[in-house]
Amino acid sequence: MRIHRIITVIGAAIGVLSLVALSGSSAVRAQAPVSEVLIGELLPLTGNFASLGQQYLWAGQTVEDIVNNDYPDLKVPLGPGKGFPGLGGAKMTLVVRDDQSRGDQARTLAEQLITVNKVHWLNGEGTSGNTSIIQPLVESYGIPMSCHPCASPTLTEKGFKWFWRTGPNDSVMVASVFQFLKEWPAHGGPTTLKTIALFTCDNLFCQDNRKIAADLAEKSGFKIVADLTTKTGATTLASEVQRLQSANPDVLFYVQYPAETTVFQADAKRAGFMPKVIATSNGAYSDQTWLNAQKANNGAAAWLGRDPTAIDLASRKPSWKQVNDIYKKYSRGQDMGELSMREITGLLWMADTINRAKSVEPAALAKAANETNMTPDVMIIDYKGIKFNQNRQNELATGVVTQVGWDNEKHTIWPWELAKQAGFKTIFPAPGWQERDSKK
């Protein structure tokens, strides 16, 4: 290489580094009053988690509709009236980005939303893994961020100051199920449940649940007779079902996605395998399309799991039905699933926070968020309220335990007060395959 070429390059490098060292911080945000509040929606709209991402998109569109339009009888934050009253009627605008279920894409697009589109709040990513990749980035820019359906406990255990979660995390959710199992004998339930098997897929969501369940199962006095982690995207689960069958658990703790659940059901039916109790934690149980498909053959009867709200008692809350009607405009007629409900609740909280802050300045937003004390009467979901602990996790996010009945609808079976209102007799033991077929 020629000497003067080297010198030129080195000189340029020195020049650049000096510029970098001397350059100040980037542009300051505008202080003028806003007419538009920009909400970044970073979601997995294609790729592995697309079926989740699209629900979150519909939820976002629903809340945008509620905020920007006047729904005078709707008892949720910003239902009546157009726009944000606290910001002079400014409207809410979603800025949607698809990260293809990829972490690197999520991080890159988060940076785009923050530095180019200058969103005031970042909502996403929708899955715990990719959300944890964008957390450090958002933290460094100091704008508020939230992921309401993200369930991994670790998201709020790292001390981030700019991440809020209104939804419960897996610890709480799995605990509800085990709480129910523990209290059941005293409320007319079986006293013979001693053994449990764990059957989970191998990704982050399932494994988080598995760890928590394994811990709680031991604490609740269950003996774990099988602990199988299956490959996500399995084409057959026949051997796994065989192993479960020979372990013969009283309770099957089951966490799988809809596609694998379809395979499991077929293989279990062929093998004649049905434990006395199937307890789930989200996954297929939270998927509306899977649930609807079970109607034809009672495939879901007696499955129980955690839900954010007592859906069968939803008529107590006219707001639930009203919101569902708005949601169906965007979801091609699909009812709100439990994930959408969590997301909508969270986004309405966000809108309320922005309204209370009367500003889009991050500091004001953070203050308003931390001061939140939302009461259940304005929520479509059965949380006890919204109030954050010092990790910015909503401490009052609870939920109920439901069971699917012969009508293929979910019925509340816990807490006991709500269960009494619902008036549903729990099904025990889970019916065998022939019984399911006979009642088609």
Interface positions, 175-194, toward other proteins (CB under 8 A): none
Is there binding between residue 239 and other proteins (CB under 8 A)? Answer: yes
C-beta of 248 vs 421, nearer to other proteins: 248
* Distance from C-alpha of 58 to C-alpha of 41, rounded to nearest angstrom: 11
Contact by Cβ (8 Å): 173, 410: no
Contact by Cβ (8 Å): 345, 381: yes
C-beta of 13 vs 363, nearer to other proteins: 13
Kindly tell me which residue out of 68, 69, 108, 391 binds other proteins, with binding defined by CB under 8 A.
Answer: 108
Is there binding between residue 333 and other proteins (CB under 8 A)? Answer: no
* Distance from C-alpha of 11 to C-alpha of 60, rounded to nearest angstrom: 51
Per-residue x/- marks for other proteins, 112-151, CB under 8 A? Answer: x-xxx------------xx-xx--xx-xxx----------
Residue located via tokens 């979603």: 94
Interface positions, 70-89, toward other proteins (CB under 8 A): none
Kindly tell me which residue out of 34, 36, 38, 50 binds other proteins, with binding defined by CB under 8 A.
Answer: 50
Is there binding between residue 248 and other proteins (CB under 8 A)? Answer: no
Q: Per CB under 8 A, which region of 83-91, 213-221, 292-300, 370-378 contacts other proteins? A: 292-300
Contact by Cβ (8 Å): 161, 139: yes
Count of beta carbons in the 10 Å neighbourhood of residue 15: 10
Residues 6+ away with beta carbon under 8 Å from 173: 151, 281, 282, 306, 399
Is there binding between residue 247 and other proteins (CB under 8 A)? Answer: no
Is there binding between residue 392 and other proteins (CB under 8 A)? Answer: no
Is there binding between residue 408 and other proteins (CB under 8 A)? Answer: no
In the complex, what is the shortest distance from the CB of residue 418 to other proteins, in angstroms, rounded to a whole number? 30
C-beta of 121 vs 290, nearer to other proteins: 290
Is there binding between residue 156 and other proteins (CB under 8 A)? Answer: no
In the complex, what is the shortest distance from the CB of residue 51 to other proteins, in angstroms, rounded to a whole number? 5
* Distance from C-alpha of 27 to C-alpha of 22, rounded to nearest angstrom: 15
Query: Cα dist. 15→7, 12, 18, 22, 73 in Å?
Result: 12, 5, 5, 11, 63
